[in-house]
Structure 1
Amino acid sequence: MKNVVALVATAVLAAQSASAHYIFQSLSKGTAKGTAYEYVRRNTNYNSPVTDLSSNDLRCNVGGATGGNTSTLDINAGDPFTFTLDTAVYHQGPISLYMSKAPGAAVDYDGSGDWFKINDWAPNFSGGQASWTMKDTYSYTIPKCVPSGEYLLRIQSLAIHNPGGVPQFYVGCGQIKVSGGDSASPKPTAKIPGAFKATDPGYTANIYNNFHSYIVPGPDVFAC
């Protein structure tokens, strides 16, 4: 009987653990919730995180090295877009947006080129303690000054909810074709993997002990 109880408890914990994870499934223009995996590359690890800082899976998740049957979203520079998850972000940590220009078609691009960051949702400390932006949709705009062309648009949730454990990356890549852009050369840029290090203060932060400031890992945010 004890064995049965233990097995049931293990199953419940496993289910709770799985339900605590999430995946960025859709990308759309404006603030609408899009169709799952229409413009976002389909991952093959369900909603599990990536934890290896040296893995190419940090770019677009497991199974996301190429576009497969993923369509490419036409969008103008300066236009808003929205990423939607299967369930709201559950773990504390920053949310970041990156772009990388494809040398040709976004569907064929593996993300091995340069990435630049266009936004961070960092913690807000104005209430005396950290407040994180934990939602099921994240909206922002394509920078007006980026060159026209096809890009990978990457969203990342870095979960740092388990001090002493390994931080978790939940990532998804949308494919976009930007029109009406300008001639900026976005900087700073970084390679992924390589943009995040185990020694980064934002990677090793303990959010439960004397937590009054935070630096989001990765390059600084590019702005026109």
Structure 2
Amino acid sequence: MPSFYAAAAFSLPLLQLASAHGYVAGIKVNQGSWIEGANPNWYYQPAGSAPETPGWQALNQDNGFVSPNAFSTSDIACHKSAKPGQKYIEAVGGDTLTLYWNTWPDTHKGPIINYLAKCSGECTSASAGSLSFTKISEGAWLSGSDPGDWVTDTMIAQNFTSDFKLPSGLAPGNYILRHEIIALHSAGSANGAQAYPQCLNIKVGGGGSTALPSGTPATNLYTPTDPGILFSLYSSFDSYPIPGPDVWSG
């Protein structure tokens, strides 16, 4: 495990440690070198003092979430008041990206969903509210009920890591990865689901020629009453409708 984890743990305020929801601390491409994500504590650091990384910084110093009553705002794109990352993850279509959460509570079961948005120019100057996303992978309920086994349990068992593949043949360009967990432990009540979107810049190279579809504006991804958002985790069920648009086949 990178030494970053240990250093970050000592730098977190007590409130953040207590909430313990987590954030994407780093990424690897094909299990290569460690690439830092974005620590929420950097948000208020003076310009030039925080590390420049591909991860978008957001106003979530309590490791908090975006609630359903904010799904119609730009906060649902890349988290609260998100500011773009200033570097890129470099990859090509077909590469496997491994995202490392610093932590995640086992009570916060739910889907893990990955989206891509094409940047018009540099992602480093993009605005969250202008982005439209195409879903490229998803996972959720695995077995059982009340509450059952979920992909978040697998992520925890894998040392808080989640993998996905970039679409093979994806055309070169600048993209934003929207990686998200939706926690369902309180989703049986209105406005109870908890969305934890994390955004990172990706520069795709290679010789691919497949264009990403235009996608869905972030504010249209979900509604507070979608069956996968208003969902009773602590009941008997035999399926789970993953929210959002269909996965793009590429």
Classify the TM-score, shorter chain: 0.7 to 0.9
Q: 1:116 aligns with which of 134, 155, 162?
A: 134
Q: What is the CA-CA distance between 1:187 and the residue it aligns to?
A: 4.6
Secondary structure at the aligned position of 1:58 is classed as helix
Indicate how the Cα distance of structure 1 residues 203 and 127 shifts in structure 2: closer, same or farther if over 3 A, else same.
closer
State the TM-score, normalized to the length of structure 2: 0.75
Deviates more, 1:58-67 or 1:181-190: 181-190
Q: 1:77 aligns with which of 79, 83, 93?
A: 93
1:102-160 Cα shifts (integer Å, max 9, x gaps): 01011111242321011111111279973112221111111113221000011001111
Q: What is the CA-CA distance between 1:211 and the residue it aligns to?
A: 1.6
- The answer to whether 1:178 aligns with 2:179 is no
Instruction: Tell me the residue number matched to 2:194.
Output: 168
Instruction: Give yes or no for contact 2:58–2:83 (8 Å, CA) kept in 1.
Output: no
Q: Which protein shows a greater Rg?
A: 1
Alignment of 1:177-216 (within 5 A): 177-187=203-213, 189-216=215-242
Instruction: Tell me the residue number matched to 2:59.
Output: 44
Instruction: Tell me the residue number matched to 2:248.
Output: 222
Indicate how the Cα distance of structure 1 residues 157 and 181 shifts in structure 2: closer, same or farther if over 3 A, else same.
farther
Instruction: Tell me the residue number matched to 1:125.
Output: 143
Secondary structure at the aligned position of 2:223 is classed as coil
Instruction: Tell me the residue number matched to 1:101.
Output: 118
Which sections of structure 2, spanning at least 5 residues, go unmatched? 1-13, 39-52
Which sections of structure 1, spanning at least 5 residues, go unmatched? 1-13
Instruction: Give yes or no for contact 1:188–1:222 (8 Å, CA) kept in 2.
Output: no
Matched to 1:84, the amino acid is Y
> Aligned-residue CA RMSD in angstroms?
2.4
Q: Distance in 2 between matches of 1:43 and 1:83?
A: 17
- Identical aligned pairs, as a percentage? 28
Q: Distance in 2 between matches of 1:54 and 1:89?
A: 27
State the TM-score, normalized to the length of structure 1: 0.83
Q: Distance in 1 between matches of 2:113 and 2:20?
A: 20
Q: What is the CA-CA distance between 1:36 and the residue it aligns to?
A: 3.8
1:49-77 Cα shifts (integer Å, max 9, x gaps): 1111112111111242433xx31111111
Q: Distance in 2 between matches of 1:181 and 1:202?
A: 37
1:2-37 Cα shifts (integer Å, max 9, x gaps): xxxxxxxxxxxx969933421123222123653242
Q: Distance in 2 between matches of 1:140 and 1:131?
A: 19
Q: Distance in 1 between matches of 2:83 and 2:218?
A: 12
Instruction: Tell me the residue number matched to 2:7.
Output: none
Q: Distance in 2 between matches of 1:44 and 1:128?
A: 33
